[in-house]
């Protein structure tokens, strides 16, 4: 565990639960991403950890996605560093040998949805106040190719096309309907359902499951691995544009107004 992550590792079951507790909304800042990556690295190396459940300690929110403030008014160098950490988290999660389950106990827009989609299985709280999806276009920004491919790999090409173009955020029932999440349960049962599902996944011969997972995800992972620098440059050029900065500013103002 570290400042914004509480990790409960049950040595007898080999399952770790990672609770995100970065107030108020678990937005993924450079610091928080770094913390997550360090924790993932440790768990991945630990032979005693075979399964990882990711959940949130914050009320109503799984993760608000990337920290918008990391993309606003920052130097190109800093933006590049931030994006490298986003890539790193995705590579670690999407390529994990552990069984990973997202216990989505709140809203999960953009980067929160990406994080969920990297997992092997998604269980969401059946609360119509919550939503999940890649809403990037609503911020005037464009989901990178590996966000897109992660979604295609999850819900197929057509659902992804509609989702991404419209920047859709889905209610739990709609998310289940397109396969963006795998199961809905009452809010107080998200973690117990995840634990139950984990038992089932961990009963599969491990090596065969790991190779199969890698076979399914390899080409998407390789595409980013071999293009990391170009992808960073692309992000930095895009996000530092005056017009994009303006879009982000307007979106942040809209968030504040919604609150008032
Ligand atoms: N980053 C930074 N701050 C945030 C974020 C965020 N993503 N989300 C919320 N906050 C802040 C709010 O501004 C607010 O701040 P303050 O208290 O100072 O006013 C505080 O967190 C609490 O937020 P809310 O009052 O809105 O809390 P609610 O519980 O009512 O709602 C939600 C929680 C649903 C998470 C809501 O805050 C929300 O919708 N947030 C925006 C989520 C979003 O759109 N995220 C997209 C981020 S972009 C991304 O992840 C991928 C980018 C890919 C880049 C590609 C470029 C090439």
Q: Tens of pLDDT along 24-83?
A: 999 999 999 999 999 999 999 999 999 999 999 999 999 999 999 999 999 999 999 999
Q: In this prediction, does ipTM exceed 0.95?
A: yes
Per residue in 139-166, pLDDT (tens digit) is 999 999 999 999 999 999 999 999 999 9
Within 8 A by CB and 6+ apart from 111, the residues are 28, 63, 64, 65, 66, 86
CATH superfamily for 5-202 is 2-enoyl-CoA Hydratase; Chain A, domain 1 (3.90.226.10)
Known catalytic membership, residue 111: yes
Q: What is the position in ligand 1's atom list of the atom closest to the CA of 60?
A: 29
How many CB atoms are located within 10 Å of the residue 54 CB?
Answer: 26
CA atoms within 13 A on the CB side of 111: 24
Query: Which entry of 43, 52, 66, 114 is annotated as an active-site residue?
Result: 66
Residue 47 alpha carbon to ligand 1 centre in Å: 36
Tens-digit pLDDT profile for residues 53-68: 999 999 999 999 999 9
């Amino acid at each position: 565990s570290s400042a914004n992550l509480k990790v409960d590792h049950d040595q007898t079951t080999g399952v770790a639960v990672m609770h995100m507790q970065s107030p108020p909304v678990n937005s993924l800042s450079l610091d928080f991403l770094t913390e997550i990556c360090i924790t993932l690295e440790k768990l991945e190396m630990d032979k005693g950890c075979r399964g990882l459940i990711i959940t949130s300690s914050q009320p109503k929110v799984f993760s608000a996605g990337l920290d918008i403030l990391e993309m606003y008014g920052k130097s190109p160098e800093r933006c590049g560093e931030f994006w490298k950490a986003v890539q790193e988290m995705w590579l670690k999660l999407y390529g994990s040998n552990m069984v990973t389950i997202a216990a989505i106990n709140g809203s999960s827009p953009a980067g929160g949805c990406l994080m969920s989609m990297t997992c092997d299985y998604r269980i969401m709280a059946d609360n119509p106040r919550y939503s999940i999806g890649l809403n990037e276009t609503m911020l005037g920004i464009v989901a990178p190719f590996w966000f897109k491919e992660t979604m295609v790999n999850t819900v197929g090409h057509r659902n992804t096309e509609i989702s991404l173009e419209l920047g859709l955020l889905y209610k739990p029932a709609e998310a289940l309907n397109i396969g963006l999440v795998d199961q809905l349960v009452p809010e107080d049962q998200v973690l117990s359902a995840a634990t139950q599902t984990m038992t089932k996944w961990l009963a599969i011969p491990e090596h065969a499951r790991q190779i199969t997972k890698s076979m399914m995800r390899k080409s998407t992972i390789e595409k980013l691995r071999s293009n990391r620098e170009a992808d960073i440059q692309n992000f930095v050029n895009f996000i530092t544009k005056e017009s994009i900065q303006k879009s982000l500013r307007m979106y942040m103002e809209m968030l504040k107004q919604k609150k008032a």
